[in-house]
Amino acid sequence: MKHLFLAVCLLLCSGALTAQTLNIIPTPQHTEVGQGHFTFNANTRLAYKHKDAKEVAQYFAQKIQRTAGFPLRKGKMGAAGTITLEMDASIKGREAYQLTITSDRVVAKASTADGLFYAVQSLLQLLPPEVESQQQLPKVEAWQIPVVKIDDAPRFPYRGVMLDPCRHFLPVDAVKRQIDMLAAYKINYLHWHLTEDQGWRIEIKKYPRLTEVGSRRVEGDGSVHQGFYTQEQIREVVEYARQRHIQVVPELEIPGHELAAIAAYPELSCRGEATTPRNIWGVEDVVMCPGKERMFTFLQDVIDEMVQLFPGKYFHIGGDECPRGEWEKCDSCQARMKAQGYTREAQLQSYIIGRIEKYLRGKGKTIIGWDEILEGGNLDTTAIVMSWRGESGGITAAKAHHHVLMTPADQGCYFDYYQGDPMVEPPYFGGYYTLERIFSYDPVPAQLKGTDGEQYVLGIQANNWSEYIHTPGRLEEGLYPRALALAEVGWSQMETRDAQSFVHRVDNDHALRLQAHHINFHIPRVEQPGGSCNHVVFTDRKMLELSTSRPLAIYYTLDGTKPTEKSTRYTGPITLTQTTLVKAVAQLPCGILGPVRTILVEKEDWHPATRSVVVEKGLRLTLNWGRFDTPYRLPETSDLPPTVVPAIESLRTLTDVPRNVRGVRDYAATVEGYVNMPEKAIYEFNTQNHLVWIDNKLVIDNGTQAVPRISTNNAQIALDKGMHSIRVTFLGGIYNGWPTYWDDAKLKYRVVGTKDWQEVKPEMLFH
Ligand code: ACM
Ligand code: ZN
């Protein structure tokens, strides 16, 4: 019986040791696993001849020296006990490689250094995860590498990640750390978004005010956010990336999203009015003026300096989200339109793109632009279209024989979108795209399959817009491990991709590699099915159900201590009969624990309805003018005479707020009175307002929430049918780039156990 079991096991194991169970991400195109191992130790030699192989060999040797602590001495090409890096022109494909591991030697072949570099990445992934350590390991005797023959090449030539240091600056070290990590997954393009409404981040010697003025933004609370890359730092990053076979694609955004440059040189805009870099998110109406020649002179001067710094073939010119209202009212713009015989402002957009495209073509560059560059017509066919507003721009462009890069927000290519329940995650822009969802994406849309448009899809990109990415750690939490799914989508053939095997590889092995690089990668937090809530209320007993966005072990404590894998393992709903602080954590199969989730589960008596006589509709309002940083200690007296407002959302509309949210008279306001609840129930409340008190209990406290827009502080309370006192406080102002005037300021509720949220409507409010 035991032998039979062993035999079945061997059969299964060997049969299953295919491309998908080999540890490599992205999954290689073709893999043949053999028997046995190559033993890698201090006697292993490294051989290469070709000068292009030398840099790859050094990269590998340095990594081994750093972790294993021994040098790889130079060996003879193809000899036993040797890892050979061989240039072989017969390997077809610029990034293709062949990696043959037998029990006595390792041979990597490629026709370019790119291919050899990727062979080395695959080889590293066949070594244990410790090889990625940033320090020397205690003692490495030997590592075993499985016998295998890999023939590999990417599905798409462009596999990219975009970084946005404009909304929140990203220091050089953090950029390099991403380059290191992304290169390990055969990502080969870094799109660097360097100019924005909220900040100009690249030194341009001819226009020093771009960084003196444009790289510095005064936030809503008066603090300053600033940062830019010197040309020397840019060169350093570009070279660092080159050594890791990543081409840096700079983005100079035109003609919109350029308020920081306009703040430095107001004559670039239609009106030429003085301004400052935008300190709120969203799209600025003030844009560059294509009616003026000096705008083109400026862009060409900037390009002249930028092309010296970025030797790659591609140059991104933005082109997205450019409001045209200013052009309609501008004499210069209208004169340009007349001279060109244009009837629509959209043609001005294509006029700019066309002129700059031609200028860049003269410098040997191919332009990439967001899909709006198709608008207005006349786009040169060499221009590459980056499809972000879904796939439709990409489909149209490919049919018109433009090369296309797929980065549709609605297919999970925006890594600033959620990957878990927003109630338990730090703030993201919105959306919801899990690791598995991104993994399943096919960059060739069904409409292009089998048409000649198919061949125009050059690849895929993930974008990391940084409105809510305040630190490198937050960037990494959005980016990893989703970048590994992106790598599979960009490199691996659809038929070799297997979601279950992918998640297995990530959770068992690659998580350890990310950890070795000190990457703050995302680990699912413990959630509650049907909607997570950090403050659960019951009156009798509670069955608390827990889950994770992908299946993982959950451990929890009920005594307030930090949970570990030694705590109670969750196997089903936890029965609670008294007030308890539940702390829970998910664990990856490789042993790494995720962030701890804390849920207050409170036993309450039913809050009785008030017997006071309340007759009038509406709520009493108090207000204090000024900017308040917290809602906790507001003045006792109101700056207004006694006022009644009809709704809770009236809190938001007490001042004039122009589209650009400039010159607003900020305030703090509170409404007070009674809410008439329709039935006896345990209710869950949700709001973006700062504080909600019901029956003198502080139910929702968003006072310390970094971004009030995204409250994770839903809370429950047990209420009898009828009137309950209520008090809601709102702070009007810009908080971390978010004007609270953009919130809906509503108070929402649902009966616990039901799905749909209702609004607290004016007919429920009295005073
Ligand atoms: C974009 O997300 N505005 C390209
Ligand atoms: Zn103009």
Q: What's the pLDDT score for residue 376? A: 84
Check residue 9 and give its pLDDT.
Answer: 38
For ligand 1, atom 3, which residue shows the shortest CA distance? 320
Question: Quick one: which ligand is closest to 319's CA?
Answer: 1
Q: How confident is the model at residue 710 (pLDDT cuts 50, 70, 90)?
A: confident
Q: In this structure, are residues 728 and 700 in contact, taking their beta carbons and an 8 Å threshold?
A: no
Average pLDDT rounded to a whole number, residues 319-333: 97
Distance (Å, whole) CA 657 – CA 282: 15
Alpha-helical (H) ranges within 256-391 are 259-264, 293-309, 325-328, 331-340, 346-362
pLDDT at 601 over 60: yes
Question: Could you tell me the pLDDT band of residue 612, with boundaries at 50, 70 and 90?
Answer: confident
- Looking at residue 490, its amino acid is G
Q: How far is the CA of 368 from the centre of ligand 1 (A)?
A: 13
pLDDT at 111: 98
For residue 83, with 0-12 CB atoms within 10 Å meaning exposed, 13-18 middle and 19 or more buried, which class applies? buried
Q: How many CA atoms lie within 13 A of 87 on its CB side?
A: 14
Model pLDDT, residue 17? 47
**Average pLDDT, integer, range 61-80:** 96
Ligand 1, residue 257: give the atom nearest the CA. 3
CA of 147 to the centre of ligand 1 (A): 45
Q: How far is CA 452 from CA 153, 325, 399, 491, in A?
A: 22, 38, 8, 21
How confident is the prediction for the chain on average, in pLDDT?
95
For the chain, how long is the longest CA-to-CA vector?
96
Residue 170 · residue 472 · CB < 8 Å: yes
Look at residue 14 and tell me whether its pLDDT is greater than 50. no
3: pLDDT confidence band, cut at 50, 70 and 90?
very low
**Overall average pLDDT of the 724-739 stretch:** 96
Which residues are near ligand 1 (CB < 6 Å)? 320-321, 370, 388
3-class state of residue 383 by DSSP: coil
Ranges of beta strands (E only) in 614-688 are: 619-625, 643-645, 667-677, 681-687
Quote the pTM value: 0.96
**pLDDT confidence band for 615 (50 / 70 / 90):** confident
Q: Is the pLDDT of residue 244 over 90?
A: yes
566 pLDDT tier (thresholds 50, 70, 90): very high
Mutating to test ligand 1, I would choose from 387, 464, 465 the residue with most ligand atoms within 8 A of its C-beta, which is 465
pLDDT for 559 beyond 80: yes
Nearest to 509 by CA among 472, 529, 484, 474: 484
Q: Given this model, what pLDDT does residue 50 score?
A: 96
pLDDT value for 229: 99
Buried b (16+ CB within 10 A) or exposed e, 356-385: bbebbeeeebbbbbbbbbbbbeebeeebbb
Which bound ligand lies closest to the C-alpha atom of 372?
1
What is the whole-number distance in angstroms between the Cα of residue 340 and the centre of ligand 2? 14
Confidence of residue 153 (pLDDT cuts 50, 70, 90): very high
Out of 167, 191, 320, 387, give the residue to mutate to test ligand 1, the one with the largest number of ligand atoms within 8 Å of its CB.
Answer: 320
Tell me 524's DSSP state.
Answer: P
* Ligand with an atom nearest the CA of residue 369: 1
In tens, the pLDDT along 462-508 reads 999 999 999 999 999 999 999 999 999 999 999 999 999 999 999 99
Query: CA 165 to CA 591: how far, in whole Å?
Result: 33
User: Which among 370, 373, 375 is the best mutation to test ligand 1's pocket, defined by most ligand atoms within 8 Å of the CB?
Assistant: 370
Q: What is the mean pLDDT of residues 220-230?
A: 97
What's the 88 CA to ligand 1 centre distance in angstroms?
Answer: 41
- The encoded tokens of residue 160 equal 């990219």
**Residues written for the chain:** 767
CA gyration radius, the chain: 29
Report CA(320)–ligand 1 centroid distance (Å): 6
What confidence tens digit (pLDDT) does each residue in 97-138 have?
999 999 999 999 999 999 999 999 999 999 999 999 999 999
For residue 683, CA distances in Å to 674, 749, 750 come to 16, 6, 6
What is the mean pLDDT of the segment spanning 556-584?
98
H-helix or E-strand spanning residue 535: strand 535-538
Confidence of residue 608 (pLDDT cuts 50, 70, 90): very high
Strand blocks (E) in 153-281: 158-163, 189-193, 195-196, 199-200, 216-218, 224-226, 247-254
Q: DSSP label at 381?
A: T
Q: Is the pLDDT of residue 6 over 60?
A: no
112-126, 143-157, 587-601, 708-722: lowest mean pLDDT where?
708-722
pLDDT surpassing 80 at residue 374: yes
* Ligand in closest contact with the CA of 334: 2
Q: Between the CA of residue 414 and those of 71, 136, 431, 433, 435, what are the distances in Å? A: 41, 36, 9, 9, 12
pLDDT value at residue 189: 98
Report the C-alpha dihedral over residues 463, 448, 96, 21, rounded to 10 degrees. 80
Contact indicator for 667, 730 with CB cutoff of 8 Å: no
Looking from the CA of residue 386, the nearest atom of ligand 1 is: 4
- What's the CA-to-centroid distance between 289 and ligand 2, angstroms? 4
Helices (H) and strands (E) in the chain, counts: 17, 39
Tell me, in angstroms, the distance from the centre of ligand 2 to residue 295's CA. Answer: 10
Take atom 2 of ligand 1 and give the residue whose Cα is closest: 388
pLDDT, position 766 = 97
φ, ψ of residue 262 to 5 degrees: the values are: -70, -35
Decide if pLDDT at 599 tops 80. Answer: yes
Digit-coded pLDDT (tens) for 279-292: 999 999 999 999 99
User: Which atom of ligand 1 is least distant from the CA of 321?
Assistant: 3
pLDDT > 70: what percent of the chain? 97
DSSP states along 40-84: EETT-EEEE-SHHHHHHHHHHHHHHHHHH----EE--TT-TTEEE
DSSP letter (8 states) at residue 18: S
Q: Is 31 left (phi over 0), alpha (psi -120 to 50) or beta?
A: beta
Instruction: Name the β-bridge partners of 601.
Output: 536, 580
Pairing of strands 106-110, 97-101: antiparallel
Interval between CA 302 and ligand 2 midpoint (Å) = 20
Mean pLDDT to the nearest integer, 429-457: 96
Q: Which ligand is nearest to the CA of 270?
A: 2
Return the bridge partners of 315, or none. Answer: 367
User: Average pLDDT in the 311-338 region?
Assistant: 98
- Of all ligands present, the nearest one to the C-alpha of 337 is 2
Please identify, by atom number, the ligand 1 atom nearest to the C-alpha of residue 414.
2
Write out pLDDT tens, residues 501-553: 999 999 999 999 999 999 999 999 999 998 999 999 999 999 999 999 999 99
- Report how far residue 330's alpha carbon sits from residue 677's, in angstroms, rounded to the nearest whole number: 55
Q: Nearest-CA neighbor of 407 among 387, 392, 436? A: 387
Instruction: Tell me how far the alpha carbon of residue 292 lies from the centroid of ligand 2, in angstroms.
Output: 7
Helix, strand or coil, per DSSP, at residue 95: coil
- Cα(328) to centroid(ligand 2), Å: 8
pLDDT at residue 297 in the model: 98
Ligand positioned closest to the Cα atom of 293: 2
- Stated as kind and residue range, the H or E segment containing 515 is helix 511-516
- Provide the pLDDT for residue 705: 80
Ligand 1: atom nearest CA of 388 is: 4
Residues 6 or more apart whose CB falls under 8 angstroms from that of 516 comprise 129, 130, 132, 133, 134
CB 96 within 8 A of CB 147: no
Query: Ligand 2 centroid vs 149 CA: distance in angstroms?
Result: 61
Q: Residue 261 pLDDT more than 80?
A: yes
CA of 303 to the centre of ligand 2 (A): 21
Instruction: Evaluate if residue 20 carries a pLDDT over 80.
Output: no
Q: Please choose, from the candidates 340, 207, 322, 233, the residue with its C-alpha nearest in 3D space to the C-alpha of residue 270.
A: 322
Cis before 323 (ω within 30): no
pLDDT at position 22 over 60: yes
